[in-house]
Structure 1
Amino acid sequence: MAPLEIASHPSPNCGARRDGLAPALVVLHYTAMQNAEAAIARLCDPDAEVSAHYLISVTGGVTQMVSEDKRAWHAGAGAWHGQDDINSRSIGIELDNSGTHPFPEPQMAALETLLAGIMARWNIPANGVIGHSDMAPGRKIDPGPHFDWARLARQGFAARPSAQSPETIDEHSFTACAHAAGYPQDTPFETLLATTRLRTAPWRRGPLTLADYTLPSN
């Protein structure tokens, strides 16, 4: 991978990570704004009270707004593997996308290069790369149905889905499998099903099936 050129646009919306925590996760978002410039302006606006460590434009340009050792304000309420305060546990990456179309090649290539560096620096495993929707089911849906999780998984930048073999196909067994994968335990079944499908099979509709038990692996 060619080295990234990273522009700097510091945001005041950050602070120290709490309780001595270091990054163990990367949370991926989409901006849902008109363009990268508008998103950066918002993420650096003290009145907005939001930020992220990085933003990647559709052309692959990378802008850093918060130092990796600082706590950016990107995740909000949510949990992963029973742990909250995701902001203190993660690095947030915003992707310039409305959520209505695929993510272009230059953007994905830049994301892969950025992830390679972050994961190496902080010893973050593939299953530590999650979507905003994963940690905040029902509240958030980004990076959305058009994001290519399979591409990241093939290169070791996200967890590969693993098929489970439940004794019964029902709400209880599915919920148990989703919780084991990391999804928050206070999530209603229908929301949990929609959220996991968003990650592994965004085209799937209808009742719970055995195929839905193919979830991101630990």
Structure 2
Amino acid sequence: MRLDETPGPNHDERHHKVDLLVLHYTGMQSGQAALDRMRDPEAKVSAHYMVWEDGRVCRLVNEDRRAWHAGVSSWQGDEDLNSRSVGIEIVNGGHDFPLPGGKLPPYPEAQIAAVIDLSKGIIARHCIPQARVTGHSDIAPTRKIDPGEHFPWEQLADAGLGLWPAEAAGAGCVWMGGDPGGLNRQLGAIGYDLSDIPAALRAFQRRFMADTITGMADARTLRRLAQVAEAYSAASSPQA
């Protein structure tokens, strides 16, 4: 992994210990446009790192400083996530700059390999739990949809980054035992903010069920939600 120093001005003092990793896509026409914006003091946005399509990595903000990438967000009951997190911007046009025909632009293998390498080092340095490896859409589901349903979360989990329980087969509906709060509790057990349940469900689906982004609690979504919530609860337990 090649690391280039490209310091930017948009950072300040942390107020919390780092225990969260947030992955973004740049969502701009080019990596250079994104880099220029994050180094523009008038933009007031930044990240600690940016990963190019060919796997090059730029460091804009040192990890001991608070980069401005998360915005208004929360995860597992925590706020001020800029203070708690390291942010990685991944060069990808995303939903705003799709390929001709509308397909989302792929993440090249060299880029994902660099993201994995970089993330492993960050997690080791800060002892970040697997349940706190997140995407921007996870922590801000009413505002953000990056790094997108085309991001290879399962590949990252196979490399030891984040949780990805295998999806169980089955056609039957999951019954919540007559408890209308069961769905909310499972979303909350993973970490999602519950102020807008359809938005939280869409963020969940975008990450764990990329082919079904409806915001609706159909039978398959309920099955998958139960599996993921169980995995996150187990990872967050004291003995985990």
- TM-score, scaled relative to structure 2: 0.83
Q: What 5-or-longer segments of structure 2 have no aligned partner?
A: 95-103, 169-173, 233-240
Cα distance in 1 for partners of 2:228, 2:43 equals: 35
CA contact (8 A) 1:43 1:52 kept: yes
Higher alpha-carbon Rg: 2
In structure 2, the CA distance between the partners of 1:171 and 1:153, relative to structure 1 (3 Å rule), is farther
Q: What 5-or-longer segments of structure 1 have no aligned partner?
A: none
- 2:161 aligned with 1:161: no
* Aligned residue among 42, 46, 53 for 1:51: 46
Cα distance in 2 for partners of 1:161, 1:191 equals: 22
Question: What per-residue deviation string (whole Å, max 9, x for no partner) do you get for residues 97-139 of structure 1?
Answer: 0112221101000001001111111111222210000010120
Superposed displacement of residue 170, structure 1? 7.9
- 2:195 aligned with 1:182: no
| Equivalent position of 1:10 in the other structure | 7
Cα distance in 2 for partners of 1:127, 1:8 equals: 29
* Aligned residue among 200, 212, 215 for 1:192: 200
Cα distance in 1 for partners of 2:110, 2:210 equals: 23
Please report the RMSD computed on the Cα atoms of aligned residues, expressed in angstroms.
1.9
Cα distance in 2 for partners of 1:60, 1:171 equals: 46
Decide which structure has greater strand share: 1
Secondary structure, aligned partner of 1:215:
helix
* Aligned residue among 148, 155, 158 for 1:151: 155
Q: Which amino acid aligns with 1:135?
A: I
- 2:105 aligned with 1:101: yes
In structure 2, the CA distance between the partners of 1:44 and 1:172, relative to structure 1 (3 Å rule), is same
Secondary structure, aligned partner of 1:130:
strand
Q: Which amino acid aligns with 1:113?
A: D
| Equivalent position of 2:218 in the other structure | 209
Q: Which amino acid aligns with 2:192?
A: Y
Residue identity (%): 40
